Amino acid sequence: MAEIIDIFDANLRHLGTMDRVEAHRKGEWHQTFHCWIVNLAIEYGAVLFQLRSSTIANFPNLLDVSAAGHLEAGEKVEEGIREVSEELGIPVKISQLHPLGCRVEVADQTNGQRNREYQSVYLFHLDQPLSEYKPDPGEVTGLFWLPIETGLKLFASALPAVEISGIHYDQRSGRWLNESRIVKMSDFVPRIQQYYLTVLIMSERLRDGRVPLGIS
């Protein structure tokens, strides 16, 4: 079934609607919702990364935003919060989130997809163990905590690799299993801007009770 999304010009003026796949093929501007979960019960804090499914068309088996997705046609930005419960199986209200603002991402992929996104980005402070999450294995292959301190060093190129821990879906048993792994920057969805570094800095500020929080 086709997913219809709103498309815009470069000044975020609404132009109409289009099938999501077609919008990416033509490089039309559209809106997405990004939610980063921050767990401050873990020592010094950690940010949750989602491991994308091995069967997904774009960037399979790479680490990405805790929960994210396209806004459907007619949806307001705040309604994108549904992605959190759909992908991770946890309830959330928009009032619980810390808005960081909107960032712009432009990228052309080798598979012909042209990405022109306005990404509304939020932080969600949730001190909840992964055992209480109910992720959708059709979209999510794993969930991993990246410690804030080591994550900052990784994305500032001060460390070549770091250890992350979390859960991974085992296809054979149909169960979520605990796992730790060593990852490098190449294990994350590639982005031109220092998106991950900025999210970690904002998570550090959230941990320390510092304001304002923002992103660009």
Residue 183: CATH number of its domain: 3.90.79.10
Q: What is the pLDDT of residue 138?
A: 84
Beta-carbon count within 10 A of 200 CB: 27
pTM of the predicted model as reported, rounded to 2 decimal places: 0.96
Tell me, yes or no, whether 172 lies in a domain: yes
Tell me, yes or no, whether 130 lies in a domain: yes
Phi, psi (rounded to 5 degrees) for 18: -160, 155
Tell me, yes or no, whether 79 lies in a domain: yes
Nearest to 49 by CA among 138, 136, 142: 142
Tell me, yes or no, whether 28 lies in a domain: yes
Tokens of 110: 């080798």
Number of domains present in the structure of the chain: 1
pLDDT digits (tens, 9 = 90+) for 176-191: 999 999 999 999 999 9
For the chain, first and last CA: distance in Å?
A: 33
Rounded to whole angstroms, how far apart are CA atoms 186 and 124? 25
Tell me, yes or no, whether 115 lies in a domain: yes
Tell me, yes or no, whether 212 lies in a domain: no
Residues 6+ apart with CB under 8 A from 209: none
Please give the residue range of the domain that contains residue 10: 4-207
- Statement: residue 123 has pLDDT above 80: yes
